[in-house]
Structure 1
Amino acid sequence: MTSPSDSIVKPPRKLTDILKRLFVKLGILPFLLAIAVVTFSLMSDNFLTGKNLMNVLRQSVYLTIVSMGQMLALLTGGFDLSVGTTLAVTSVVGALTMATVYAAMPEAVWLAIIIGCFAGVAAGTLIGVCNGVGVAFFGVSPFMMSLGMTSVGFGVALFLTGGVPVYGMPQAFGDIFGFGTLFGIPTPIYATVLLGILLYVFLYRTPFGRHFYAVGGNVKAAALSGINTRATLFWTYVLCAGLTAVAGMLLTARLDTGEANIGSAMPLQSIAACVIAGVSLRGGVGRLESVILGALFIGLVENGMNLARIESYLQTVVLGSLLILAVIADQIRLRYVASLKD
């Protein structure tokens, strides 16, 4: 026979087991997302309005694209601290090139935009090439390599501009790629969706995409199975920088200037978005759709704190705390996974 106390104890245990299994399967992101929505909805009546949610989507596109690139680095067991530098170099080189071509040929607006975007993306991707060569072929740790490129890149960007914003780009560039809309949806959102689809197909529908998971899971086993681990690591940082460079040009269009000081917070934010989304710092684990949701979560939290009029300095404290919480949750989740296997 069961005692009355057993009937009282069992439901909480069942609820705990359900939450535990959800946590193991989905990670901490759904729980944080639910808490954020409830909290900021109570703090501001404007939080869940359609206009504000569309604003969150528009503001989150840059972090989303960078986080997709950062995910590739984390999948292979590394990370890229130079994504902020990549944004800055892309913005400066792209704006300078575009403004120069436009000043020389004012009638060739689209030619100036195309050449400027190509130059900016190429300059940003070059940082990824340097990172890839250092990590893949010289065995430099991703931390030291990307940290060194951060200093180099910001120095180059400041040298090119003297710390002064770059103006003179065609107005159409900002009107279309920064502030433009199509069917009421901002243009950068379409670019983000397209990049997300292409990366999804690459990661989950091509053999080379699966190599990122294999190298991050066990680099020695990947090499023994015939995977070119050096090529995989090289292209990891090239693709990360390439995606970040695209985000840099979209952000330049939004700002309507080339800035050498943008992107300083992007390394922390992109890593936080990935880790909160369940991408393991040990490599080999992570889903693209979760990373996109993680980046949107960061944007949602920032938007909610702005509506709640929380000081910008405290916002950085919240973001850092979320990253620490996500790392701790990742370790707890790994223990739960191990216990379930046992």
Structure 2
Amino acid sequence: MTRPLVLFTDETDLDPRPGRALLEEAGCDTILAALPTREGEPQNLPAGAERAAALVVGYARIDKPLLDRLPEVGVIATMSAGFDMIDRAEAERRGIWIVNLVDAATEEVAAHALTLALALERDLRGSLAVTAAGGWTDDVSAVPRRLSTLTLGLFGFGRIARRFAEIAAPAFGRVIAHDPFVTGPVDGVELVTREELIAESDILSLHMPLTPETAGSIDAAAIAAMRPGSSLINVSRGELVDSAALRDALASGQLRGAAVDVLEGEPPASDDPFRVHERMLVTPHVAFLSEGSLEHYTVDPARNVLHWLRAGRLDRAVVPGTEREPLLRS
């Protein structure tokens, strides 16, 4: 039996070596490419990549022109929970399985969201600047809000949002959430409509996947409907937020601040004004990061590919594909 080829499409901030080693020990060949994340950039494939049976994807763009050059691909495994970098319709048309990571960093991302919310509400950036400049208490101008008087709103209520609600609820006066796919009761969290969520949240935290329907959800109209002086937290995808509308809302005071781990078009330009905006806290897409999560992110995509190679199908896939003959012996 010919050794199946697994193409690692791009080298991200995650080390591909553990996953490649696992696959090679199981009887696969692997290749590491450097495919781009943005449209319009050339998609240069290494020699021999056209026989790839599986892809392990970081942030690379997986579109129709690329798949046309990779006719043998039967499964795409992402190194993230999100899979918006893949042309889903094209994958479905070709019967390609798509499997993402589930629960690899739920605890970490929830903790990071809480960290951002607390740092923003307590004006941690301003206080640190006062200390660094040689000042002390009398030099602090911002007066934080009392957390127990605030409503925390969660836009999306999947695993991460539920964990965030669990650890944040004791600090906040009220926790509300909106998710069109969640209708049953949830302990300690009030499910509300989208309009109620936006209008009643003092802190609005985003926990939605990026899809054509959710892109730009937080636009000028949504921000205008928020409580004046409210805050925005985003640990999901930068493209959920209209950057121009966010900039205008921070300038006008409609939003008191924003704290984000993601920006539109990552990495942002080195001179992106959001990097140094006085009303923003920006971390470099590290909400997922911990010693515990790294093993899942680096090895689990390869494990998912191995499962497909040995079974010709996947028991858990975000996009089911066409069942095929196994390419590896169990």
More helix, by proportion: 1
- TM-score, length of structure 2 as denominator length: 0.26
| Relative contact order, higher structure (CA 8 A, sep 6+) | 1
More strand, by proportion: 2
